[in-house]
Amino acid sequence: MKVLIPIVIGLMVVGCGKKEQSKETAGNAKNTSEKPVKVLTAEEKKVFGEFEYKNRDGYILRYVLLENGVLEIQVGRDTLNMAVHEDSSDKWKMANGEIHIIDNYNRYIEVFRVNKDKSITDIGYISAGERTDYPQNKQRVFKRVKDTKPTSETKEPPANVTDTLAANFAALSPGINEIKVEHDGQSRRLIVTTPKIFSRQNLYPILFCFHGAGGKADGPSKRWSPHADKRGLIVISAEAVQPQAKWNFTDKFHVEEHDDVGFILKVVEALVASQVADPKTIYATGHSSGGLFCYRLAKETNVFAALSPMSCGMVKGAHDPDQKTKFVPILQVIGDQDKSFNGSQNKVTMYSASKRIDVWRKFNQCGPNPFVLEKGKEIMVYTYASQAGIEVALCQVKGQGHFIRRDLRDIADSLALDFLLKHKKNK
């Protein structure tokens, strides 16, 4: 996938008309133009408007400081097709001659300096009452846009899923964020957990986690979100199309025509475009149906630095790497009493745990002799490595079935994260 160059943040001039504010006051309507108008100070009147910064590919992230004190964020590839992320809790104000943009929970404040040429510079942030200024080479200057902001009646709708998601990712707050988006005519849901100390100036490792058949995003989110702070990463729990909630891990197994692979790739593209994700450190894990989906992603995509399917099989033929597949580290976690440990032949043929490891070991050109790690009496990890550093590993949990006992699962999860995070994509 083409890696987008970091995007820039911007806003355009909102006209400074002489309308009486009393005539513009409205009730609780969602439209920004209908919200109560804040009485601006003379200082604020000088800066409210729109500012933007374009990357060299023409991708734009724009902040719009509305005259009612509300912040509107727009993201897109051109000025005619801007996806809008608007939240009435996002506010801006002037403080000590600076623009302070406040996040949804008033726990994070982005600080902008107002320049003599009417541009603004992102100079730092305030979190938990403590201010941090960015180094000079990290400070960005956002030029004031001369074009007048389109009204709500003439504003173009979101151009595509990527732009809509990018707008949401650009507005992430510390902690848990829920995002809903339409993809291919179907409603999708993401639960995104960021570290409590979260800066939009940093690029973060991304961990996708996928639930089992019939599940929801809430389960994997609860399981993996604590690692956002522990490991300094962003956890994204994605939800399959409801109500069946089955991942389309092979086009021959499920009859659903869900574009799950395409959706996840759009999410990855938006994460990179919004300057949130480090494209070299994007990972995935999943349980049962979600683990099978990881195998499909390993075969068909080239955006993950490593994957860890859990408590699942691997479909013969559908998940075998082919000529289009790229080398990718894989760690399989499975209990030796799991129904898929020894393989199965039902609607499809599932490889045994040892066979699927052998398939990927040979493809990744790993040696035949594993490094063996023993964690207590119940967990054994067999790791095969190639000369290029590509690894394939089996984490076998003794005496455990499809649902691994909580204490052992926690150990296996930690081992999986150790495995994933030590790998980075070269390209």
Domain ranges of the chain: 8-148, 161-421
Cα four-point dihedral sign 288, 293, 296, 297? negative
DSSP 240: P
| 138 within 8 A of 127, measured Cβ to Cβ | no
Long-range CB contacts (within 8 A, 24+) of 57-62:
57/4, 57/5, 59/4, 59/5, 59/7, 59/8, 59/273, 60/7, 60/8, 60/10, 61/7, 61/8, 61/9, 61/10, 61/166, 61/170, 61/274, 61/275, 62/9, 62/10, 62/11, 62/12, 62/145
Residue among 168, 182, 177, 249 at smallest CA distance from 211? 249
Q: Which two tokens stand for residue 265?
A: 């790739």
Dist CA 64 CA 72 (whole Å): 5
Residue type, 63: Y
Angle CA 187–190–196, to nearest 5: 155
For residue 9, the SS3 value is strand
8 A C-beta contact, residue 285 and residue 420: yes
Query: Cβ neighbours of residue 193 under 8 Å, at least 6 residues apart?
Result: 175, 176, 177, 221, 224, 225, 228, 234, 235, 236, 237
Q: Alpha carbon of 20 to those of 33, 39, 46, 276: distances in Å?
A: 14, 11, 17, 41
Number of residues assigned to the chain: 427
For the domain 161-421, what is the CATH code? 3.40.50.1820
- Please state the φ and ψ torsions of residue 135, each to the nearest 5 degrees: -60, 155
Walk along the chain (427 residues) and give the pLDDT tens digit of each residue: 333 333 333 333 333 333 333 333 333 333 433 444 556 666 677 778 888 887 766 678 788 888 778 888 887 766 666 666 655 557 888 888 898 988 765 578 889 998 888 889 999 988 877 888 989 888 888 888 854 444 444 344 445 677 788 888 988 989 999 999 888 888 889 999 999 999 888 899 999 999 999 999 999 999 999 999 999 999 999 999 888 888 988 755 554 678 899 999 999 999 999 999 999 999 999 999 999 999 999 999 999 999 999 999 999 989 999 999 999 999 999 999 999 999 988 778 899 999 999 999 999 999 999 999 999 999 999 999 999 999 999 999 999 999 999 999 999 999 999 999 999 997 6
Nearest residue to 290 (alpha-carbon basis) of 348, 210, 396: 210
Instruction: Tell me the longest C-alpha to C-alpha distance in the chain.
Output: 79
Architecture of domain 8-148: Beta Barrel (2.40)
Find tokens 């490094």 and name the residue: 371
Quote the pTM value.
0.68
**Main-chain dihedrals φ then ψ at residue 393, nearest 5 degrees:** -140, 150
